[in-house]
Structure 1
């Protein structure tokens, strides 16, 4: 899956699965698994020119890191 780029950027305040993976030091599939397992809250976002993708807020990322 293609992550956020100029033509399909996520709304302000949301990070892509790829960005979250880099921050956590894991691969993007691990982040998707955390989302599926409801360990990490994310919002499904439809972007221009791209299919739906997950967006994670900084607050949700910090809550996940603090658990």
Structure 2
């Protein structure tokens, strides 16, 4: 399986987070993403948060330049 990543720069936030995380396994990436979401963004570790984060994973490695922010439905 190729390396996977999640990039906070893709999602607008008041803190303009610039963290991108990558890992060789989905489980490792999910654990790191949940820890970041809880510690930095104030989310609660729930099964729903884990499901949402997993849908945001991309194959490969994060780009050096910040990607365009996606609009998040309210």
Higher RCO (CA 8 Å, separation ≥ 6 residues) = 2
On whether the aligned pair clears a TM of 0.5, the verdict is no
Structure holding more strand per residue: 1
TM-score under structure 1 length normalisation: 0.30
